[in-house]
Amino acid sequence: MEKNDKTTGTVTGIIANLVVVDVNGPVGQNEICYILHNQERLMAEVIKITEKQAYVQVFENTRGLKPGSKVEFEGHMLEVTLGPGMLSRNYDGLQNDLDKMEGVFLKRGEYTDPLDREKKWHFIPLASEGDEVIAGDWLGEVEENGMPHRIMVPFKLQGSYIVKSVAKEGDYTVDDEIAVIESTNGESISVNMVQKWPVKIPIKTYKEKPRPFKLLETGVRCIDTLNPITEGGTGFIPGPFGTGKTVLQHAISKQAEADIVIMAACGERANEVVEIFKEFPELDDPRTGKKLIERTIIVANTSNMPVAAREASVYTAMTLGEYYRTMGLKVLLMADSTSRWAQALREMSNRMEELPGPDAFPMDLSAIISNFYSRAGFVRLNNGKTGSITFIGTVSPAGGNLKEPVTENTRKAARCFYGLSQDRADSKRYPAIDPIDSYSKYLEYPELQETLSKTLGEQWLSNVLKAKDVLLRGREANEQINILGDDGVPIDFHERFWKAELIDFVILQQDAFDQIDASTPLERQKYMLEKVLSIVDAQFNFNHFEEVGNFFKRVINQLKQMNYSEFKSEQFNNFEKELDDILNEFSIEAEETQQATA
């Protein structure tokens, strides 16, 4: 939406960061405006329109603001600036470069350019004069922190264009002209490396959006083995405070098979955000050998911005992800925590006196969450290349109540549910993902089943289901043992419980501080799962329930030593041989073989 004559207005009411403005012209939903206060320009967004008034949410502190202040409407929605130089940047929810700002507390009304306008980039043309192009097609590329950053036909253009000229290979700033394209009516359009796009509107310059079918390898066994997420899939991690949501997100972002990582710290909690700022520049990237921050963008909702900025930060992060996806890259987007975003929506809804839904959240909360999650996905571009956004958000339900509205509505939108358990966290079983309650709906997709069968074997899916069944039966046996006592149940119950513990300790639990065990490749996950299930299937001869516990503790310890060893190394093989000796002590099959030999 663009206008030559800007609409203006006057502030008539202020409720915290919700401001009522009398307008003297047309305004649009989600249009950006600036409130003039002394020497400051306070950015705000239109969230409700009546006949002569606009309700705007201000992205700044409104202290000192009075009725009568002038307002200027910009004629466009909240936009992000897209171009080379965004990787390794720290942005706030409005895409201000935080590293360019001074002071402990950010100055109100201060906005910075998200790009470096002086830096020169080495441009390599990909299109040629006379080529027919449409929005999102690649005209050329520059290298950004080792990643190919494609310069594309502006997304806002409609219809087809002819490339009139392309700049020669060389060094250019982001504002230099790198191509001229011509429309069918003869209009010439100059293209540089920068474009703007409104954050609330998805970038849809792809050819098709098929169902995800490729497994996204995260290196986290309780995800990859039991409840895998796909490249371009969606998942969420709900759980009580202190159960490891943020740490799990950090592990996934470091190890996942993605080209670009975007962290949306929309929760505003200082300790987690500071941890991201301090740790990411120090973390080594196992994919490139460089620092992880070089292919990471952080969008942090800062403490002195009002809650309205939480909503802006998640949309800003998603739009950045869509931009890189259109380049044919695999993007991993992590949001922590979407509960704070939903609380911001509730706060604004209440101030506007809208009809409340459950727990006073907006009535359309389910639609808002679903629309946002739907922007992730696997896409096939116009040139046949593919790109993806895999989105994983965290939810922090009050009191760990997974029946509250944000968790319930997110469950409808996300395809993977990784519920964190307080009991598992208290017993130091990390990651604390509950193996029974958690699920991946992608396992139901024939496309993913076919891919997994080709890469991991036809038995893989049945092995996964079998492991879940063993865990469920083990939990049931444990409940019976707790009720009736150790010697009040048959030995079979103890064996069933310890076989579930075997899967828990060896497959589900992982040591993030161990260099080898921190991330497990799929080949190794397959081998260890088959090894563990072969022990589960084996029959053992126990005379007393104490023998069961002592035996399986030795087996678990041996398998954990294998987890800490280089895969199929001499040390790994030695531990495996020792394991076989332990198994033979109580194995019925081994006893029968010895008797037959004798």
- Residues at the annotated binding site for ATP? 239-246
Decide: 335 and 124 in contact? Cβ < 8 Å: no
Helix, strand, or coil (residue 247): helix
Structure tokens at 64: 């000192």
Structure tokens at 559: 């398998």
Helix, strand, or coil (residue 498): helix
What's the maximum distance between 2 C-alpha atoms anywhere in the chain? 102
What type of residue is 64? Answer: G
Strand partners, 37: 40
Q: For tokens 């911005």, name the residue.
A: 305
Which residue positions form the known binding site? 239-246
What type of residue is 200? Answer: K
Strand pairing of 439-440 and 179-182?
unpaired
Decide: 547 and 586 in contact? Cβ < 8 Å: yes
Strand partners, 152: 138
Contacts of 266 (CB under 8 A, 6+ apart): 93, 299, 301, 310, 313, 314, 317, 335, 336, 337, 338, 340, 341
Nearest by Cα to 390 from 444, 453, 470, 325 = 325
Nearest by Cα to 342 from 275, 418, 399, 393 = 393
Structure tokens at 249: 């997100």
Specify the DSSP element, H or E, that contains 33: strand 31-37
Q: Provide DSSP, 255-280.
A: HSS-SEEEEEETT--HHHHHHHHHHT
Question: How far apart are alpha carbons 111 and 90 in whole angstroms?
Answer: 14
What type of residue is 554? Answer: R
Decide: 155 and 76 in contact? Cβ < 8 Å: no
Helix, strand and coil content of the chain, in percent to the nearest 5, comes to: 35, 25, 40
How many beta carbons lie within 10 A of that of residue 509, not counting itself? 20
Decide: 499 and 430 in contact? Cβ < 8 Å: no
Q: Fill in the DSSP letter of residue 486.
A: G
Structure tokens at 310: 């939480």
